[in-house]
Amino acid sequence: MRKSLAVNASRAVLGVAGVAILGYGLLELPTQLGAGQLMGLLTWMAVAILIHDGVLVPLSTLAGAGLTRAGAKLQPTSAAILRGALLLGAVVTLVVGILMKAQSVAQSVTVLEADYAMNLLWFWVFLVLVSGAVIVVLERRARRVEIIRC
């Protein structure tokens, strides 16, 4: 596939702008933070990279391979809905997990006062029911079309 000149030029401009912004940030960082804060920030960034590359990427790769195998008998649209629903559920669970952790250490009960665990449970029930119903409808419709064609 040939890439157009406009796409290549846009990518080059965005790449140069990104490198320039990164350089500006790196040059200004020591002037804004003390030595202790700078070490804390660098430690946090290193741990974030380790968690991303050491945990999240391998887990998502395994989950993707498992979903591909599990959804091999499904129609492509149904498999996409299954993958999308699981991805949405994982992201919402991650965010709610962070809120639940923050709620457990919060000093004030007026902050983060929702029942996140129960809301997460209801979200998963809704997600499973809706995505399951859509997948069942799509699979039945696909079978009907195959039967009519035969």
Give pLDDT tens digits along the chain (150 positions): 567 889 999 999 999 999 999 999 989 888 888 889 989 988 999 999 999 899 888 988 888 888 788 777 888 899 889 888 988 998 899 889 988 888 888 777 777 788 889 999 999 999 999 999 999 999 999 888 878 877
- In a 3-state reduction of DSSP, which class is residue 136? helix
Give the pLDDT confidence score for residue 54 in this predicted structure: 92
Give the pLDDT confidence score for residue 144 in this predicted structure: 86
Give the pLDDT confidence score for residue 74 in this predicted structure: 86
Give the pLDDT confidence score for residue 24 in this predicted structure: 94
Could you give the CA distance from residue 13 to residue 8 in angstroms, rounded to a whole number?
Answer: 9
Give the pLDDT confidence score for residue 1 in this predicted structure: 56
Give the pLDDT confidence score for residue 22 in this predicted structure: 93
Would the CA dihedral through 106, 108, 112, 118 be positive or negative? positive
Query: Which strand (E) or helix (H) includes residue 62?
Result: helix 57-70
Could you give the CA distance from residue 43 to residue 55 in angstroms, rounded to a whole number?
Answer: 17
Give the pLDDT confidence score for residue 2 in this predicted structure: 65
